[in-house]
Structure 1
Amino acid sequence: MGQSMIEGTSFLFNKETCFEYDGPKLESIEYFLNVLIRDKNKVFRAETGEEQTTILFKLNEKNHDNLNEEQFSIQFSDDLSQMSVISADELGIIYAILHISEAYLGVDKFWFWNDCEPPPKANVKIRAVPYLSEVAKVRFRGWFINDEVLISTWKYQQSNTYVWEMAFEALLRCNGNMVIPGTDIKNPIYKDIARKMGLWITHHHAEPLGAHMFSRVYPDKNPSYSENGDLFKELWKDAIIQQQNDKVVWNIGFRGQGDRPFWADDPTFDTDEKRGALISKIMSDQYELIAQYQKDPICCVNLYGEITELYKKGLLELPPGVIKIWADSGYGKMVSRRQGNLNPRIPSIPEQHDLGPHGIYYHVTFYDLQASNHLTMLPNTTAFVNSELGEAFDSQMCEFLIVNCGNIRPHIYFLDFVSRMWNKDRVDRGAFLDEFATRYYPAYSDEMSRNINDYFDAIIQYGLADDERAGEQFYHFTIRNLAHQWIVSHGKQSGKNLWWATGEIEIKEQFKWFKQKVESKLTEWDTLTKNVNQLVKEADCIEQKRINDQFLIQVLIHKNGCFALYYFSRAFEMFQEKEYREAYLLLHQAIEEIKETINIMQEPMNEKWVGFYDNDCLTNVTLTLYTLETVQRNIRMYGDGPSFYNWEKEYLTNPEEKKVMLLTNKTKQLTDEGLGSKLLEQDHN
């Protein structure tokens, strides 16, 4: 063999290397062999004239090599002309392909989502040392692509299907094997893509067995199991038949129509005993149905929200072997989530005597219409997540881990971190931060490590518990809630749907509470914004775009929201003192903050991401802008009406014009944007 191909004990991987597959024809393996060809062509852009080598992928279902589930081995021929990759199952081959893509070609796990194309090379010399992949800490591990309003409408190169393929590819690159592929109506579309890519399928806790929602199929019937149990069973049966040949972790249980308990719509179940008895019967019926169509089914049940309390009281009877899934608070703490103003914080972790198998439903993004994060990172730290999940693993909660990943791109930092935990247990968080910053911001890794730490230091602690830290919804839902109450009650009645500042206290005390919370963090967010902006100005093109579009945008969402809520709260104080011009100008400043957020969302540096935030219908930054503008117009009614020329005349016209008025006005009245800007400019001068 020529020296051009062999150097020492290395296998030569280059443009001429061909891929072969020995095993049953599987759509998923064919798909990922094409991914590897795609990646090879990205990295090796020209043929070298060197001798050809071969990478052989062998699916040995009889498992003569005694490999564990999903494990693969790599071996080399004596003459180093062939690399043999062997696994006993479908996912093992897929992981092997992606391992070669990442370890040898340099393709990043989040290459699509974080704009990281691998650098070109002439070839790669791989040491001819046998390799055996490790076995993951968690057996079933994956993402719940939930509240996916951004990626459900955004297209890349005119394709939304490709976006979802990239989501599932990233999950598999993180060594995930399971997915809840979206929510509600479009779930079957995405489920088919996930299935073709080799993933296990599981289901939303509000959509047992992956069946259609009862009220969608039977809108004129009462969604009561006691009244229409046969119709529910037909829906479940149809779903089971449709998925009987797939890899499924069947989610059994019964919550209700939508993401709330069924007894909210059925008052006959007015005791915990009645509720627990019905859920237990339903789970038994569901399990028996599944067993008719699939041998040895794997089932799970979500002990989520109110279900946790029923289980802890001993009121649920589960079929044998069902994986019990315990959910966090929505903010990463393993306690039951808040339901409105009810916040019992029941530990969401099994007792020592509670035999498994057990699993976890964990949020790195959440949507609760109050204070959670949807467009920005989890407001808690990697140290916090490391501790919570680590303690859960210590309690043998290692059978199942589904992570609510939202729209993926805003949450890469924690998705990467948690995937390392599901593979190897606890993670050195300092080393992770340094590696993350070096991987994505190599020229500014030290600065970005500091900035990321400063980001978490600037987060508002809205409650007493360690997980009660504010995502961006804290600003936006508060402004809209209090703005509504301000207008409809003329500033006299308190807001009714604010967890932290509600009840009997007056609306002015609510505003004061929120103002104090945000005021304490203004300087930190302002300083961080300036620091990151400086990096964007200094960075080269690739890093400039990544810092701007991935990190600065999240900093600005927080900074602008924080300042907007502060100005908004001060405006209310001025309104109460009948200082309408001052209130008007403070609202103008709040509006300018929100406009800055909208601008960076609509105009990313990388054109690839134009339109990504167009369907921001949950946090809905543009609705906050509309709300603030509405309040500002109302305030102008008080101080500048009915001519809407009073402030312009008093503050912006020349002294002689104020005294000699032959016409009421010589130009059209200024818009709020124009008037506010001119008044502020005058004040600053």
Structure 2
Amino acid sequence: MEQPMIKDPFFLFSKETCIEYNGPKLESIEYFLSVLIRDKNKVFQEETGNESTTIIFILDEKNHDNLTTEQFSIQFSADFSQMNVMSADELGMIYAILHISEAYLGVDKFWFWNDCEPKPKANVKIKAVPYLSEVAEVKFRGWFINDEVLISTWKYHHSNTYVWEMVFEALLRCNGNMVIPGTDIKNPLYKDIARKMGLWITHHHAEPLGAHMFSRVYPDKNPSYSENGDLFKELWKDAIIEQKNDKVIWNIGFRGQGDRPFWADDPTFDTDDKRGSLISKIMSDQYELIAHYQKDPICCVNLYGEITELYKKGLLELPPGVIKIWADSGYGKMVSRRQGNHNPRIPSIPEHQDVGPHGIYYHVTFYDLQASNHLTMLPNTTAFVNSELGEAFDHHMSEFLIVNCGNIRPHIYFLEFVSRMWNKGRVDSDAFLNEYVSKYYPASSDEMSHYIKAYFDAIIQYGIAEDERAGEQFYHFTIRNLAHQWIVSHGKQSSKNLWWATGEIEITEQFEWFKQKVESKLSEWETLTENVKELVKKVDCIEQKRISDQFLIQVQFHKNGCFALYYFSKAFERFRAKEYSHAYLFIHQAIGELKETMNIMQKPMNEKWVGFYDNDCLTNVSLTLYTLETVQRTIRMFGDGPSFYNWEKEYLTDTEEKKVMLLTNKTKQLMDNVLGSKLIEKDQH
């Protein structure tokens, strides 16, 4: 008797596979089902004639008896022709869809941001074994799209909306569920996209309840709660009504009209007691307003900067059940941030007796007008981040984790690392690096692993604390501050804006302090730059572009900035010695370094990213270049004016011509870019 054919225990995923949905009509689910179809069509480009199979996504709230919030399960029919994907809530279903996309179709979490298109296949055989998704370590986890000046203007295929959809898709692929969708005036536009994609919304610590800034709505009124409390309440009420039907984690509290404390503009609050009392009253008022419009609201408060100090002193009274969010230094250390020259470094870890839900506001990118990283990676290592967040989790700070992610693309390395931590807890940093380079740099993984380690070894340690390491803004803000003082004070007055780094010392000592900091790292950055450039030449097209546009550019930000600050400091030395032509040439060399940075920003190897750095207004490399050109022209006034032909005649004119003065000059005076290049070329010969 002929035996029936036993089908292989595999589900066949192919072009012929049908995708169905059984559940309530939700805009977010429809959106991500279309994403899955997009990904399916990328991978399965041709029909194979295989037997048709079916994936059914089933959203059923009754499944909460079997599945926890945001969890999903996968099961297969007896004949392996049907995959049943089940969840009891919206986000669980979204994660299920994206799991199918990543695990079976090979779509990377950061496919858009790191140029990783999935490889085409005829079909995928999926082992028909039941699957149950894990529960994340952190309950509320997500990104704060902050200082988003690059992605707020950059467009892909003429669409900025698409760029933001790619932001939120990447977040959800990382198993995030919460977002602060941008900063200030454009926030409502991005918030609407995030809502439609199923995310929880929370708010900037300077924009409580997501309300409009007082001074923008009432520009002619004093933004004082004691004077205009009713107007503040109206703004808060409007924001609550607008969001009452959304998934919201309400940020309560009060800072000021911007990212600074309100008492900076209201001197009547001149003691910590007065400040704490007002903030406590405001939080109570806000909580009552929210509870009037939304049942069982989830609220949080940022113990950020100056608020940490007030809370630690016992001067803040919080409504019950509010999530207390503790912030890092901006450089990854769980201590309060430095503000100006004030740097108390109060531990951002709750005391043992401080019960209740706790969370974290963590930076992988920061902007403080001092030494932070905006266009480059966090200057501290993944091992350091692992230790800091791991200790926070040990202190039960796992209710909430919001990560300042900036403009996404420069920070993928740490965003992926932290997402591992919010899902799993502590991570093996070395294993993560090996996996990361194998995934994104398969042809050069050994070299890239070595160069990424060398990158962190070359970072400048500007302070004594372990996290006080320099991002690219260290070079740019220093040059601009010192240049300003050099010119306006004739090189006689110290730059107070740099006392946070140097202490209260004279300007000559400040120049020397910064020169010593960068001088010790010049050879490391130069060697690393040359090595990565050589690597770019060796690998294939897509990996070549990824190394250049993602890693080499960050190495160059540091190498060029480091050399520019060094040459700038040497120029000041020569200027003080009245060696004006030498000072001029050092500035010219500094300018050359920044032009290298500008070139790689403006001309990426992958045309997709043309224009991405056009609005780098927070680091603003072109402004630093402009500043150096201003200093260069000033030096030329001293040494080459008023004829502006002296150096050309002295250094570039043939010997016999120097003594003949029938004409003052026979051609137009050289502009600085030409004169500087010719003088350096002459000097090298």
Report TM bin, short chain. Answer: over 0.9
SS in 2 for 1:401: strand
Displacement of 1:256 after TM fit? Answer: 0.9
Displacement of 1:6 after TM fit? Answer: 8.8
For 1:535, the equivalent position in structure 2 comes to 535
Q: Please say if residues 6 and 12 of structure 1, whose CA atoms lie closer than 8 Å, have aligned partners that are also in contact.
A: no
Percent identity reads 86
Q: Please say if residues 496 and 502 of structure 1, whose CA atoms lie closer than 8 Å, have aligned partners that are also in contact.
A: no
The aligned amino acid for 2:28 is S
For 1:573, the equivalent position in structure 2 comes to 573
Q: How does 1:248-259 map to 2 (within 5 A)?
A: 248-259=248-259
Q: Please say if residues 7 and 79 of structure 2, whose CA atoms lie closer than 8 Å, have aligned partners that are also in contact.
A: no
1:235 aligns with 2:267: no
Cα deviations across residues 610-656 of structure 1 (Å, max 9, x unaligned)? 00000010000000000000000000001001000000000001111
The aligned amino acid for 1:35 is V
User: CA–CA distance in 1 between the matches of 2:78 and 2:303?
Assistant: 54
- Distance of aligned partners of 1:659 and 1:18 in 2 relative to their CA distance in 1, 3 Å threshold: same
Q: Please say if residues 144 and 179 of structure 1, whose CA atoms lie closer than 8 Å, have aligned partners that are also in contact.
A: yes
- Distance of aligned partners of 1:577 and 1:421 in 2 relative to their CA distance in 1, 3 Å threshold: same
For 1:410, the equivalent position in structure 2 comes to 410
Displacement of 1:504 after TM fit? Answer: 3.9
User: CA–CA distance in 2 between the matches of 1:503 and 1:641?
Assistant: 36
Q: How does 1:56-75 map to 2 (within 5 A)?
A: 56-63=56-63, 66-75=66-75
User: CA–CA distance in 2 between the matches of 1:167 and 1:144?
Assistant: 11
TM-score in terms of structure 1 length: 0.99
SS in 1 for 2:142: strand
1:668 aligns with 2:668: yes
SS in 1 for 2:496: coil
Q: How does 1:191-270 map to 2 (within 5 A)?
A: 191-270=191-270
For 1:475, the equivalent position in structure 2 comes to 475
For 2:121, the equivalent position in structure 1 comes to 121
1:606 aligns with 2:601: no
Q: How does 1:263-662 map to 2 (within 5 A)?
A: 263-662=263-662
SS in 1 for 2:320: coil
Q: Please say if residues 485 and 491 of structure 1, whose CA atoms lie closer than 8 Å, have aligned partners that are also in contact.
A: yes
Displacement of 1:64 after TM fit? Answer: 5.7
The aligned amino acid for 1:546 is R
Q: Please say if residues 381 and 456 of structure 1, whose CA atoms lie closer than 8 Å, have aligned partners that are also in contact.
A: yes
User: CA–CA distance in 1 between the matches of 2:288 and 2:317?
Assistant: 14
User: CA–CA distance in 2 between the matches of 1:270 and 1:635?
Assistant: 46
Displacement of 1:63 after TM fit? Answer: 1.7
User: CA–CA distance in 2 between the matches of 1:59 and 1:505?
Assistant: 66
SS in 1 for 2:536: helix
SS in 1 for 2:362: strand
Q: Please say if residues 580 and 638 of structure 2, whose CA atoms lie closer than 8 Å, have aligned partners that are also in contact.
A: yes
Displacement of 1:661 after TM fit? Answer: 2.2
For 2:98, the equivalent position in structure 1 comes to 98
Displacement of 1:489 after TM fit? Answer: 1.1
- Distance of aligned partners of 1:216 and 1:454 in 2 relative to their CA distance in 1, 3 Å threshold: same
For 1:30, the equivalent position in structure 2 comes to 30
SS in 1 for 2:86: strand
Q: Please say if residues 6 and 80 of structure 1, whose CA atoms lie closer than 8 Å, have aligned partners that are also in contact.
A: no
User: CA–CA distance in 2 between the matches of 1:65 and 1:14?
Assistant: 33
SS in 2 for 1:124: strand
User: CA–CA distance in 2 between the matches of 1:504 and 1:254?
Assistant: 33
The aligned amino acid for 2:68 is N
For 1:42, the equivalent position in structure 2 comes to 42
Q: Please say if residues 502 and 513 of structure 2, whose CA atoms lie closer than 8 Å, have aligned partners that are also in contact.
A: no
The aligned amino acid for 1:547 is I
In structure 1, the gaps of 5 or more residues are none
Q: Please say if residues 571 and 582 of structure 1, whose CA atoms lie closer than 8 Å, have aligned partners that are also in contact.
A: yes
For 2:76, the equivalent position in structure 1 comes to 76
User: CA–CA distance in 2 between the matches of 1:186 and 1:7?
Assistant: 55
1:679 aligns with 2:679: yes
SS in 2 for 1:679: helix
Q: Please say if residues 463 and 501 of structure 2, whose CA atoms lie closer than 8 Å, have aligned partners that are also in contact.
A: no
For 2:9, the equivalent position in structure 1 comes to 9
User: CA–CA distance in 2 between the matches of 1:454 and 1:76?
Assistant: 48
**How many residues in Structure 1 have an aligned counterpart in Structure 2?**
682
TM-score in terms of structure 2 length: 0.99
SS in 1 for 2:293: coil
User: CA–CA distance in 1 between the matches of 2:91 and 2:7?
Assistant: 32
User: CA–CA distance in 2 between the matches of 1:229 and 1:42?
Assistant: 55
The aligned amino acid for 2:73 is S
Displacement of 1:149 after TM fit? Answer: 0.2
Displacement of 1:659 after TM fit? Answer: 1.2
Displacement of 1:438 after TM fit? Answer: 0.6
For 2:20, the equivalent position in structure 1 comes to 20
User: CA–CA distance in 2 between the matches of 1:534 and 1:452?
Assistant: 15
Aligned-CA RMSD value: 1.1
Displacement of 1:499 after TM fit? Answer: 3.4
Q: Please say if residues 340 and 500 of structure 2, whose CA atoms lie closer than 8 Å, have aligned partners that are also in contact.
A: no
User: CA–CA distance in 1 between the matches of 2:65 and 2:264?
Assistant: 54
Displacement of 1:272 after TM fit? Answer: 0.7
SS in 1 for 2:498: coil
- Distance of aligned partners of 1:502 and 1:531 in 2 relative to their CA distance in 1, 3 Å threshold: closer
Q: Please say if residues 494 and 502 of structure 1, whose CA atoms lie closer than 8 Å, have aligned partners that are also in contact.
A: no
User: CA–CA distance in 2 between the matches of 1:501 and 1:663?
Assistant: 52
SS in 2 for 1:292: helix
User: CA–CA distance in 1 between the matches of 2:54 and 2:356?
Assistant: 45
Displacement of 1:565 after TM fit? Answer: 0.2
User: CA–CA distance in 2 between the matches of 1:506 and 1:259?
Assistant: 30
Displacement of 1:387 after TM fit? Answer: 0.2
Q: Please say if residues 463 and 500 of structure 1, whose CA atoms lie closer than 8 Å, have aligned partners that are also in contact.
A: no
Q: Please say if residues 251 and 299 of structure 2, whose CA atoms lie closer than 8 Å, have aligned partners that are also in contact.
A: yes
User: CA–CA distance in 1 between the matches of 2:64 and 2:592?
Assistant: 67
For 2:179, the equivalent position in structure 1 comes to 179
Displacement of 1:18 after TM fit? Answer: 1.0
SS in 1 for 2:401: strand
Displacement of 1:503 after TM fit? Answer: 5.0
Q: How does 1:159-178 map to 2 (within 5 A)?
A: 159-178=159-178
User: CA–CA distance in 2 between the matches of 1:29 and 1:499?
Assistant: 53
User: CA–CA distance in 2 between the matches of 1:12 and 1:554?
Assistant: 43
User: CA–CA distance in 1 between the matches of 2:16 and 2:229?
Assistant: 61
Q: Please say if residues 495 and 502 of structure 1, whose CA atoms lie closer than 8 Å, have aligned partners that are also in contact.
A: no
The aligned amino acid for 1:611 is G
Displacement of 1:76 after TM fit? Answer: 0.1
User: CA–CA distance in 1 between the matches of 2:270 and 2:508?
Assistant: 38
The aligned amino acid for 1:96 is A
The aligned amino acid for 2:109 is K
User: CA–CA distance in 2 between the matches of 1:356 and 1:627?
Assistant: 51
User: CA–CA distance in 2 between the matches of 1:117 and 1:30?
Assistant: 22
Q: Please say if residues 365 and 405 of structure 1, whose CA atoms lie closer than 8 Å, have aligned partners that are also in contact.
A: yes
User: CA–CA distance in 2 between the matches of 1:63 and 1:282?
Assistant: 41
Q: Please say if residues 603 and 610 of structure 2, whose CA atoms lie closer than 8 Å, have aligned partners that are also in contact.
A: yes
User: CA–CA distance in 2 between the matches of 1:650 and 1:33?
Assistant: 73
Q: Please say if residues 461 and 470 of structure 1, whose CA atoms lie closer than 8 Å, have aligned partners that are also in contact.
A: yes
The aligned amino acid for 2:44 is F
Displacement of 1:423 after TM fit? Answer: 0.2
In structure 2, the gaps of 5 or more residues are none
SS in 2 for 1:315: coil
Cα deviations across residues 85-141 of structure 1 (Å, max 9, x unaligned)? 000000000000000100000000000000000010000000000000000000000
User: CA–CA distance in 1 between the matches of 2:347 and 2:476?
Assistant: 30
- Distance of aligned partners of 1:635 and 1:294 in 2 relative to their CA distance in 1, 3 Å threshold: same
Cα deviations across residues 245-304 of structure 1 (Å, max 9, x unaligned)? 000000000111100111111111111111111111110110010011111000000000
Displacement of 1:500 after TM fit? Answer: 4.2
The aligned amino acid for 1:251 is N
User: CA–CA distance in 2 between the matches of 1:425 and 1:492?
Assistant: 52
Cα deviations across residues 482-503 of structure 1 (Å, max 9, x unaligned)? 0000011111111110134555
